[in-house]
Amino acid sequence: MAERPRKTPSLSPGTRAAAPNTRRERPPERPGGRPTVVAAPASSTPQAGVRISKLMAERGLCSRRDADGYIARGWVFVDGRRVSELGTRVDPAAVITLDKQGQADQQSRLTILLHKPIGFVSGQPEPGCTPAVTLIQPANQLSTPDTPNFHPACLRGLAPAGRLDIDSTGLLVLTQDGRVARQLIGDDSQIEKEYLVRVDGSLDAKGLALLNHGLSLDDRKLKPARVEWLNDDQLRFVLREGRKRQIRRMCELVGLRVIGLKRVRIGAVRLGDLPLGQWRFLRPNETF
């Protein structure tokens, strides 16, 4: 008996039979017939290691900005391998070195010591104020036989490493060297700054103790300081931080008014006999 043909299953109107999955589906089309490209999701896994520029700054090799410049120029070696791609991450224990060109560039960076007068702002100019860097001119250089003379290149990239209020005087450091800036004003800086402060008002033993340790500014506790009387109206402050107008505000909290403030030392470098309004280069044998 002849076999009867099988019937094909009926489909509802408008329904097509599923085709075997033998090729990739076409992406949906945009109006006009062009396919829409769907981007693959970005990986959420963070890249391992630490950015080279961050490591270099943490180790005091240079600032992060300088590190990026050295990397782009191919002056940086990691474990003996030259690296030139910005953003590269490496093991935190990697050995990082600079080639001769990078070392020479660092050695050419200048640091200047200025005896800032009252009336000059240490950083960005404010309306009606003159920045201290305008004093770095040949006429104001302290002349010594063993130091180089002023050249316009001395001003290139020169920036203050720390602030000194407009109504304060004393030692101000300006530098082209990111290593010096980090050493003096980095978050982990432990460099001491010494000030002579003339005050008006009375201060008992409890107030003096508070100046040494126990005060807060802007809801943050201050680091311990060393504060002592030098004479009837002058205090000596030694700080390891530099909040805005810190000494003046500290004195206000214990009932004193500052009538004169002079910074005489930063780390191991002293103002010494540098005349008011004059500047000199940091000497090769000087370190902060």
> For the packed helices 246-253 and 205-212, what is the interaxial angle rounded to 10 degrees?
150
CA distances from 104 to 100, 107, 155, 262, 283 (A): 6, 5, 18, 35, 17
Could you confirm whether 167 is annotated as catalytic? no
Are 233 and 200 in contact by the 8 Å Cβ rule? The answer is yes
Torsion, Cα 269 274 277 278, to 10 degrees, reads: -90
Can you read off the two tokens belonging to residue 138?
Answer: 């040949």
As given in the structure block, the two tokens for residue 80 are 């003996």
**Helices 100-107/64-73 angle, 10° precision:** 140
The token pair that represents 24 in the structure block: 């990739």
- Token code pair at residue 152: 């316009």
Q: Which of 165, 177, 204, 218 is catalytic?
A: 165
- In whole angstroms, give the CA distance from residue 202 to residue 197: 14
The strand pair at 130-131 and 120-121 is best described as parallel
Please check whether residue 139 is in contact with residue 126, taking contact to mean a CB–CB distance below 8 angstroms: no
Catalytic site residues? 165
